[in-house]
Structure formats: structure tokens, C-alpha cells
């Protein structure tokens, strides 16, 4: 085995192999992948291979779109068949609210260039003649996606990576990861040690164990996902004999399942209530390329819904129930980007739709590593969007909620209830007594609006005007005509002090710092392409003393930026005082603690 590489990727599932493939495509041929057993031995081998383009996030939407486009050209590039069935994808709607969600999504799709059609129930019947269209109000149709063989597409990218000079070591288990004094990473394995400038963690179900080797607690815990594989169905056999094409992947969102053809039979994949998290304390040594026992009772409501929509499913014999672990995060989006507090350590974990996101996540992470910035806005998937509040118990609860909510209607202002309340400001009860209706950001409970006397303090979400519309308008008018007081406990707050503080901040933000004590400037930190990375409100409070306030949801994101840019000479001190202050009060004891010496 090599003892030196420019970058080491840990994990040989579809995400890790894609990362290696894209790094070598960017010219980093001195790249190595380490896999503890065989390629695809984790969640990749038992994935259903779906490629849904539907996603409300611009970042995730672009990642998925890139994957679908990539997979269509991989065979020509590598000579490896990827078994891509471009069948299209139908998302049914049985009510106006669901159609509103699809129409809202159309704005995202138009922006990122995903082809789609809004179709009628009659058109659904043309595309899916075996479906009963009773009760439908319409559907969203994606003509370009479908399903793929996860093992085949992984092997195709592995071939591409090898062709570009990349190296893959199988049966190579990572035992420890250490950072050397010169900043390089030492990866210890059962086959020997290898030193690298960069490390990328793509270990799926093992994410918490891998990241713990470098002192990080990552909110990734798998959840059991089941799907049913049936025997041959006579109606599908007849369609095959007649030379008819495979029908589109069918998703009945309001019944929380997907259905697709598989060898003249069906695969039914529900997202059911009560699906448990697994491997909360790590993957057992005894769990290899294994599955969990199927739980048909948990699936029965979705089986019954599917039979109602697709009557031919009723007579299909069950061949198998596949029940395996799929990694989740508290908000359902993957974690792609730099690890916080560490130099040249990268994360590509938490993929609940790993096959769909693998191509795009490898594409953007490789660009980030090689070019210094990603090509698209990755804030929705940045690993630093979570903080220390995302503990193991919290992550377990939220990940189970995320699984259950895959097919719920996602309103623009939705607030999910699990794991709440978690973090509350000292005046939380006073705000609640005045009718506050709370949302959650970065674990903090924050008032979204206030219900006047006689109005129930509860959200009624909509894609049109929600129940808070007139009340928020009244709050805005009152603030404009009179005055208002805002609790900023949840805002991120940092102290930057020391003889080098002024020069340090001047290098990071694009606006001149305040000169006079007590003056405040709104300042922006830019990325290397001139885009806005962060926004800070900066107050000067004396020679070499600055107080910075930024978004509450960006605490780890902004602190990491400030931390990694600190000068090496000790001339600047950085303190995160977010939980120490609800507002700025430069009291004597604080001045004594934080003032530069």
C-alpha cells in the first residue's frame, strides 16, 4: 500500500467512489480510497436505486440533477453498464395543498433547469394505465429520471477513477486518524499507515465512529428503511410481451410510498411511521453486509394504499422484504463540506438519498477541495449548519422524524416538532405569555409571530396566505410607527480582542471597521469569488476590542471561519460568547475577562 497521497477518501460506497472519481477528474491523480471490506458493502448494495429530482433545496436540487446527467454518460466514458432505466417519475396529488407544493417546486426546477410537467389525472392514466386515478387532482411528472443499479454505477465511477490514476484499496480498515505537527494527516490502517494532505470521510453508517477519531460529534444516525420486492405480476408480464415500455416510478406522496417495476414485478417502498433509528452507539463488529428482519405489520397501511391505487399489486406475491440502514441527519439533507475546526478534513456523510446525491456531492466537494470554493451555494448541506446542540439523543429523535416526514407536505415555513423545545432564552416564558408562536433555529426557540388576545397561538401553514399574515402585518406597522424590542439571545456573538484584532478583521471583511468606540458597522465577509459568505454586525468597544454579531443559524459556520483565519502569532483572541449574552452589555466583569492585555 502507498504510504503517501495528496488526498485519502475513506469509504467505498457510491458516495466515496464518486468523490474519488471527481477528484481524479480534477487532475488529482494522487488520490487513494480506503474501503474496510468490498466496494458497495454498506447501504449502497441494498439501495432501491431511485433517482428523484424533486427537492425544495436549490443546493440539493442541483446535486441531484448533476447526478442524473452524469449517470447517463458514464457508460460511454468508462465502458461499464450502469443499468439506468430512464422511465420518468410521477408524483401524484390527491388535494390542492399537494398541488400547491408541486407548483412551488416548479420555481426551483425552473431555476436549476430540471424538466418537468404538471399533468392531469387523464394524463396520469396514459402514463400509468395500471393505476386507478380516482381521487387524483393532478401530478408532477419528471421525464428524465428513473432508477439505476447502485452497484453498477459505483463500479463505473471506480473504473473512471482508476483510469484517471486513482487508487482503491479494499479490505483496508481505518483504525485511527491523527494530525501531524506539519498539518498533514496520518491514517493508520490494518494494512499500514498512509499520510495525506487532505482526508475525506464518506463512511455512511460508520460516520459517527469515523469522525470521533478526529474529535467530532456528527449528527448522522441511520434509520431502518424497508421495501417489498414482489414476484412477477401477470399484468407486467403481458406488458413486456407486448413490447410496452417500463412505466414511470410512481410516488403517491399523500400515502407515503414509491412503487416501481422490477423484473416484471414491483418494488414498494413506504416511508412509514415508527421506523426506528439504528446503530445509535455505532455499527456492531458483527454487522457486515447484513439486513434487519422485515416488519410487514409496519408496512400494511402503505400496502393497502398501494392496492387501492394499483389494483394489480393485491395479487402480487411477496418475494422479499429488504430492511437495511440508511443514514439520516436531523433535517434530512446530507453533510457535504469542510469539517469544523480542522484543516483539510472534509465530510461527505448523512446521505439518505445516497445514490441520487452521490454524483453531485462528489462533484461539488472535489471542486471545493481543489478550487477552494464550491461552484454552487452549499449552505443547505454545509456540515457546519448544525451545532453542539445536535447531540446523540436529539439526532436520534430528529432523524426518525425526518424519515417519517419524507412525503409530508413541506410548507415554506414549516416547523417540525420533534426534539423541542431544546434551547430557550431567559425571557422565553414572558414571550409565550404574550402569545408568541415559536419556531426553531439552530436549536433555539424563537418567536415567529405573536397571536393577539383571542387568537389561538398556533401556525396554520399554507402555500398561500397563512393565518399569521394579518398579525405579522400589524406587528410591522407597530414597529414602524412606534418602537420594538427584540430578544437576540439566539444570535451568534463573538469577541475579537488583542493588538492584532483590527488588522485581522480588516483582512476578513470588505467594509472599513468602525473607528470610534461604540460605533457599529454592518460588514460582510466575502468568498474568493466575491460572493457574500457571512454578515457581521461589528461594534468597536475600545482599542483592540470588537464585538461581532451574526446569524443565529450560522454560529458554527461563522466561528469556524473566524477561527481558521486567526493569525499564528497569538496577537488575536477569539471568544464565542453566544450563550453568555442575550444582548450586548460590556459590564466591568466582562471587560476584565476579555479586554486585551
User: Looking at residues 567-572, what average pLDDT do you find?
Assistant: 95
> What predicted TM-score, i.e. pTM, was given to this entire model?
0.94
Q: Which residues contact 164 (CB under 8 A, 6 or more apart)?
A: 21, 24, 25, 29
Taking the CB of residue 41, how many other CB atoms lie within 10 A of it? Answer: 17
Beta-sheet pairing, 318-328 with 221-230? antiparallel
For the cut 60, the answer to whether the pLDDT of residue 587 exceeds it is no
For the cut 50, the answer to whether the pLDDT of residue 586 exceeds it is no
Output the nine-digit C-alpha cell for 485: 424590542
Q: How far apart are CA 160 and CA 217, in angstroms?
A: 33
Contact indicator for 339, 414 with CB cutoff of 8 Å: no
112-150 pLDDT tens trace: 999 999 999 999 999 999 999 999 999 999 999 999 999
Average the pLDDT over each of 63-77, 82-96, 525-539, 580-594 and give the range with the smallest value.
Answer: 580-594
Domain ranges of the chain: 4-281+290-380, 412-481, 492-594
Q: How far apart are CA 297 and CA 174, in angstroms?
A: 39
The DSSP output letter for 230 is E
3-state secondary structure of 54: coil
Strand partners, 224: 325
User: Looking at residues 211-222, what average pLDDT do you find?
Assistant: 98
> What is the third-level CATH fold of 4-281+290-380?
FAD/NAD(P)-binding domain (3.50.50)
Task: Specify the pLDDT at position 596.
Answer: 46
Average the pLDDT over each of 277-286, 509-518, 564-573, 575-584 and give the range with the smallest value.
Answer: 575-584
| Cβ contacts of 131-136, under 8 Å, gap ≥ 24 | 131/250, 131/309, 131/310, 132/308, 132/309, 132/310, 132/311, 135/94, 136/92, 136/93, 136/94
CATH annotation of 492-594: 3.30.70.1400
User: Looking at residues 269-291, what average pLDDT do you find?
Assistant: 92
Residue 583 — very low, low, confident or very high, per pLDDT cuts 50/70/90?
low
Q: How far apart are CA 63 and CA 58, in angstroms?
A: 9
Q: Cell 462528489 maps to which residue?
A: 362
3-state secondary structure of 574: strand
450-500 pLDDT tens trace: 999 999 999 999 999 999 999 999 999 999 999 988 888 999 999 999 999
Output the nine-digit C-alpha cell for 49: 436505486
Report whether the peptide linkage leading into residue 401 is cis, meaning its omega lies within 30 degrees of zero.
no
Beta-sheet pairing, 318-328 with 335-338? unpaired
User: Looking at residues 313-341, what average pLDDT do you find?
Assistant: 95
For the cut 80, the answer to whether the pLDDT of residue 293 exceeds it is yes
Strands in 190-317 per DSSP E: 192-201, 221-230, 249-252, 257-262, 265-270
For the cut 50, the answer to whether the pLDDT of residue 584 exceeds it is no
- Percentage of the chain surpassing pLDDT 70? 97
390-414 pLDDT tens trace: 999 999 999 999 999 999 999 999 9
Output the nine-digit C-alpha cell for 492: 451568534
Chain-wide mean pLDDT for the chain?
Answer: 94
Q: How far apart are CA 155 and CA 491, in angstroms?
A: 46
Strand partners, 7: 31, 198
Q: How far apart are CA 390 and CA 210, in angstroms?
A: 17
For the cut 60, the answer to whether the pLDDT of residue 579 exceeds it is yes
Task: Specify the pLDDT at position 285.
Answer: 87
Q: How far apart are CA 103 and CA 568, in angstroms?
A: 52
Task: Specify the pLDDT at position 567.
Answer: 96
3-state secondary structure of 50: strand
User: Looking at residues 241-258, what average pLDDT do you find?
Assistant: 96
Beta-sheet pairing, 31-34 with 167-169? parallel
Contact indicator for 351, 204 with CB cutoff of 8 Å: yes
3-state secondary structure of 356: helix
165-200 pLDDT tens trace: 999 999 999 999 999 999 999 999 999 999 999 999
Choices 3.30.1360.120, 3.40.50.2300, 3.60.40.10, 2.40.50.100: CATH for 412-481: 3.30.1360.120
User: Looking at residues 528-534, what average pLDDT do you find?
Assistant: 89
DSSP structure string for 371-434: HSS-SS--GGG-GGGS-TT--HHHHHHHHHHHHHTTTS---TT----TT-S-B--TTHHHHHHT
Q: Which residues contact 194 (CB under 8 A, 6 or more apart)?
A: 1, 2, 3, 4, 5, 8, 32, 34, 186, 187
User: Looking at residues 550-561, what average pLDDT do you find?
Assistant: 96
Taking the CB of residue 443, how many other CB atoms lie within 10 A of it? Answer: 23
Taking the CB of residue 462, how many other CB atoms lie within 10 A of it? Answer: 15
For the cut 60, the answer to whether the pLDDT of residue 535 exceeds it is yes
Amino acid at each position: 500500500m502507498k504510504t503517501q497521497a495528496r488526498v485519502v477518501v475513506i469509504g467505498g460506497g457510491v458516495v466515496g467512489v464518486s468523490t474519488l472519481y471527481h477528484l481524479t477528474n480534477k487532475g488529482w491523480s494522487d488520490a487513494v480510497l480506503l474501503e474496510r471490506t468490498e466496494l458497495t458493502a454498506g447501504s449502497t448494495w441494498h439501495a432501491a436505486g431511485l433517482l428523484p429530482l424533486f427537492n425544495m433545496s436549490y443546493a440539493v436540487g442541483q446535486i441531484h440533477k448533476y447526478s442524473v446527467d452524469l449517470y447517463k454518460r458514464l457508460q460511454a466514458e468508462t465502458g461499464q453498464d450502469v443499468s439506468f432505466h430512464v422511465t420518468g417519475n410521477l408524483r401524484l396529488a390527491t388535494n390542492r395543498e399537494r398541488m400547491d407544493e408541486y407548483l412551488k417546486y416548479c420555481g426551483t426546477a425552473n431555476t436549476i433547469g430540471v424538466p418537468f410537467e404538471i399533468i392531469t389525472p387523464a394524463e396520469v392514466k396514459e402514463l400509468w394505465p395500471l393505476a386507478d386515478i380516482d381521487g387524483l387532482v393532478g401530478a408532477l411528472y419528471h421525464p428524465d429520471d428513473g432508477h439505476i443499479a447502485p452497484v453498477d454505477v459505483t463500479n463505473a465511477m471506480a473504473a473512471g477513477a482508476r483510469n484517471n490514476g486513482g487508487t482503491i484499496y479494499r479490505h483496508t480498515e481505518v483504525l485511527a486518524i491523527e494530525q501531524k505537527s506539519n498539518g498533514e494527516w496520518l491514517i493508520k490502517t490494518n494494512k499500514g499507515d498512509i499520510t495525506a494532505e487532505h482526508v475525506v470521510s464518506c463512511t455512511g453508517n460508520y460516520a459517527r465512529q469515523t469522525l470521533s477519531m478526529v474529535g467530532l460529534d456528527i449528527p448522522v444516525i441511520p434509520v431502518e428503511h424497508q421495501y417489498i420486492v414482489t414476484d412477477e405480476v401477470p399484468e407486467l408480464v403481458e406488458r413486456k410481451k407486448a413490447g410496452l415500455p417500463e412505466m414511470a416510478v410512481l410516488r403517491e406522496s399523500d400515502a407515503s410510498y414509491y412503487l416501481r417495476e422490477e423484473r416484471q414485478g414491483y418494488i414498494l417502498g413506504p416511508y412509514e411511521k415508527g421506523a426506528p433509528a439504528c446503530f445509535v452507539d455505532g455499527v456492531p463488529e458483527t454487522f457486515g453486509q447484513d439486513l434487519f428482519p422485515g416488519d410487514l405489520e409496519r408496512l400494511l397501511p402503505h400496502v393497502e394504499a398501494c392496492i387501492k391505487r394499483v389494483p394489480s399489486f393485491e395479487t402480487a406475491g411477496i418475494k422479499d422484504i429488504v430492511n437495511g440502514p440508511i443514514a439520516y441527519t436531523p433535517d434530512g439533507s446530507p453533510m457535504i463540506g469542510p469539517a469544523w475546526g480542522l484543516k483539510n478534513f472534509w465530510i461527505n456523510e448523512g446521505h439518505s438519498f445516497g445514490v441520487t446525491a452521490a454524483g453531485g456531492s462528489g462533484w461539488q466537494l472535489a471542486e471545493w477541495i481543489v478550487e477552494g470554493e464550491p461552484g454552487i451555494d452549499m449552505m443547505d448541506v454545509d456540515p457546519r449548519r448544525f451545532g453542539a446542540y445536535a447531540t446523540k439523543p436529539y439526532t436520534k429523535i430528529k432523524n426518525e422524524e425526518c424519515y417519517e416526514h419524507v412525503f409530508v407536505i413541506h410548507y415554506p415555513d414549516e416547523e417540525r416538532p420533534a426534539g423541542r423545545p431544546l434551547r430557550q432564552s431567559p425571557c422565553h416564558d414572558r414571550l409565550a405569555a404574550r402569545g408568541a408562536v415559536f419556531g426553531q433555529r439552530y436549536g433555539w426557540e424563537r418567536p415567529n409571530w405573536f397571536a393577539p388576545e383571542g387568537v389561538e397561538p398556533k401556525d396554520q401553514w399554507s402555500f398561500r396566505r397563512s393565518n399569521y399574515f394579518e398579525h405579522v402585518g400589524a406587528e410591522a406597522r407597530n414597529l414602524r410607527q412606534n418602537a420594538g424590542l427584540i430578544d437576540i439571545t439566539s444570535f451568534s456573538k463573538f469577541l475579537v480582542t488583542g493588538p492584532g484584532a483590527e488588522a485581522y478583521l480588516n483582512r476578513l471583511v470588505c467594509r472599513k471597521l468602525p473607528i470610534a468606540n461604540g460605533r457599529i458597522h454592518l460588514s460582510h465577509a466575502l468568498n474568493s469569488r466575491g460572493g457574500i459568505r457571512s454578515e457581521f454586525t461589528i461594534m468597536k468597544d475600545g482599542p483592540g476590542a470588537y464585538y461581532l454579531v451574526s446569524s443565529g443559524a450560522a454560529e458554527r459556520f461563522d466561528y469556524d471561519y473566524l477561527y481558521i483565519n486567526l493569525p499564528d502569532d497569538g496577537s488575536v483572541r477569539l471568544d464565542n460568547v453566544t450563550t453568555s449574552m442575550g444582548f450586548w452589555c460590556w459590564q466591568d466583569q466582562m471587560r476584565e475577562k476579555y479586554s486585551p492585555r
